[in-house]
A and B are shown apart, each in its own frame.
Chain A
Amino acid sequence: MFMKKIFYSTRMFIISLLMASAGLMAQTTNKPFFTVEGEVLKPLKLTVEDLLNLKQTEIKAKDREAKEHIYKGVRLIDILDSAGVTLGKELRGENLAKYILIKAVDGYEVIFSLPEVDPEFTGQTIILAYQVDGNPLPKGEGPFRIVAPNDKRPARWIRELTTIKVVFSKE
């Protein structure tokens, strides 16, 4: 009985750890996608084709070498809106303590606050781009990247984007 208990408890422990660490493994797909998750009403998994169904936006912006390009994609605000994030009139009170955590495939992470992307607060248009100068984003950069034209240093122009997560500050 006792040994059984040891065996059971150890087994459950291992199973739960394996399940936790293997969570990503199930996500194999041929078409590249990114997810929108966290404090959203409707979690999303979007491919380039899915983005074409949303309102398209083009912006001119200068890259790290100060060369101007035309980036095409979807405004970050429109993506968040379609996932049901507290924006516009709802962006008040405790919702102002939420932030957007964006992750890349290599593990790089950057954050924006919700007011930084909401046109009721800012004149800046931040997009999730999938094209540059009429072409898909090159390898190592795409298929998805953020373009934040007002950032003087493009360190938040996160490349190879995989996840957009809306998070409540727990402080």
Chain B
Amino acid sequence: MKASNQSRKIIISIMIGSLLLLSFKVYENQEKPYNLKYPAYFGGRFTIPEDNPLTRDGVHLGRMLFYETKLSKTNQFSCSSCHQQKLAFTDGKPFSEGIDGSVTKRSTMSLANLLWVKNFFWDGRSNSLEAQAIVPLTDPHEMGQSLSESASKLEKTSNYPELFKKAFGSSEIFGDKIVKALAQFERILISSDSPYDQYLNGTYIPTEQELRGMNLFMAGPQPQNNIRGANCGHCHGTPKLFKELFHNNGLDTIPKDVGRMEFTGQEIDRGRFRVPTLRNIALTSPYMHDGRFKTLQQVLDHYNEHIQQSETLSPFIAEATNQVGGKSLLLLEDEKQDIISFLHMLTDSTFISNPDFSNPHLKGIKP
């Protein structure tokens, strides 16, 4: 009886102790939350997982890991090998080389305003940044290293155990902490200081050509009402310059890459790909999931003159025309140039030079 009373006391004190510890831990994390700043016109429709709140230490660790070559099997590749800040976190190539010299199946996507994205990759197969990060880290043709190998490599360093302790309360390193930290860093990659943003904030006056381009970009054509438009905004509209949509944009009648269908197994998704953001689009050539277009001119030519018919072609592309009864978009050459000049308004030089997003290992911080 006495013994059991004593053990009960011990159990109770352990419980109280762990509760105290737990609240301390939570308190510690809440002490340094990361304050997200974004314009009101982006809206608040995003979700940060409850088990991975943004903290300053978490974001810092994520940034260190984003530029960490130890996360690759050969110690030569980091996320930043393909996602370079100066190119709005792309690499300028149609396909990217991984550790084994082979190339990725699809073109590297820009990392801007991912906080508002729900379904990642060109086919939308990952529904969180945490899940997304695992793929390039562990794919044998990309960084090629299991998360547990990455964790044990980092444990052997002098600095990472402490960084993990600050970010997650314990210096033990696990794969899930690696991807959580990376996700935290990616969530703060917000691009909102382009001339277009300045225009929205009333601090930049667009040229006449930019203004014409903006109007054409956003408007759906209504030839019966004499309204000309390129209908880009139907999918790339709102100040975020993308909507969470998947469309077949008429690249091929029989697509070599079936896109979203590979993930859903549904015929209706054949040739559908994510609608990517057009922020910093002038920096992220080449274009499309396979990088087939080198220039914005080629992209405009595609949407205007070279749409390929198929069962799953987006009706919003098929139906858009600037002539009553027209079969294609029928923009004039000058109008295309106007739109291209608007697209250049989306280049955010603050984003690509923000020191908070840059390689921390280059600043004398020992890896």
- A: which residues have CB within 8 A of B? 3, 6-7, 9-10, 13-14, 17-18, 20-22, 24-25, 27-28, 32, 65, 105-108, 139-141, 159-160
Contact = CB atoms under 8 A, between A and B. Distances in A.
Contacts of B244: 107
A159 B130 contact: no
B174 A10 contact: yes
A28 B126 CA distance: 18
Most buried by B among A27, A65, A106: A106
Nearest to B244: A107
Nearest to B150: A10
B50 to A, nearest CB: 13
Interface string B47-84: 00000000000000000000000000000000000000
A6 B174 contact: yes
Nearest to A12: B176
Given A21-B125, A28-B266, A10 B131 contact: no
Contacts of A20: 127-128, 131
B152 A6 contact: yes
Interface string B341-352: 000000000000
Contacts of B187: none
A107 to B, nearest CB: 5
B311 interface: yes
B175 A14 contact: yes
Interface string B265-276: 110110010000
B246 interface: yes
A-B CB proximity, top 7 nearest: A140-B315, A10-B175, A28-B265, A17-B131, A13-B176, A107-B245, A10-B147
B80 to A, nearest CB: 23
Given A10-B151, A25-B264, 19 more contacts: A3-B148, A3-B152, A6-B152, A10-B148, A14-B134, A17-B126, A20-B128, A21-B125, A21-B127, A21-B131, A22-B125, A28-B265, A28-B266, A106-B272, A107-B243, A139-B311, A140-B313, A140-B314, A141-B315
Contacts of B264: 24-25, 27-28
B273 to A, nearest CB: 11
Most buried by A among B151, B176, B244, B246: B176
Nearest to B138: A14
A104 B315 CA distance: 13
How many interface residues does chain B have, given as a range?
35 or more
A6 B151 contact: yes
Contact of B134 (A7, A17, A32, A159): A17
B263 interface: yes
Interface of B: 119, 124-128, 130-131, 134, 146-148, 151-152, 173-176, 179, 224, 243-247, 263-266, 268-269, 272, 311-315, 318
A14 B178 CA distance: 12
A3 B155 CA distance: 12
A159 B315 contact: yes
Given A9-B174, A13-B176, A160-B268, A106 B148 contact: no
Nearest to B155: A6
Contacts of A7: 148
Nearest to A6: B148
A73 to B, nearest CB: 19
Nearest to B125: A21
25 contacts: A3-B152, A6-B174, A9-B174, A10-B151, A10-B174, A13-B174, A13-B176, A20-B127, A20-B128, A20-B131, A21-B125, A22-B125, A24-B263, A24-B264, A25-B264, A27-B264, A27-B265, A28-B264, A105-B268, A106-B245, A107-B119, A107-B244, A108-B243, A139-B315, A140-B318
Nearest to A160: B268
A27 B251 CA distance: 27
Contact of A106 (B127, B151, B152, B246): B246
A171 to B, nearest CB: 12
Contact of A9 (B128, B131, B175): B175
A135 to B, nearest CB: 16
Most buried by A among B126, B148, B151, B269: B148
Contacts of A22: 125
Contacts of B179: 13
A9 B176 contact: yes
Contacts of A106: 245-247, 272, 314
Contacts of A25: 263-265
Nearest to A138: B315
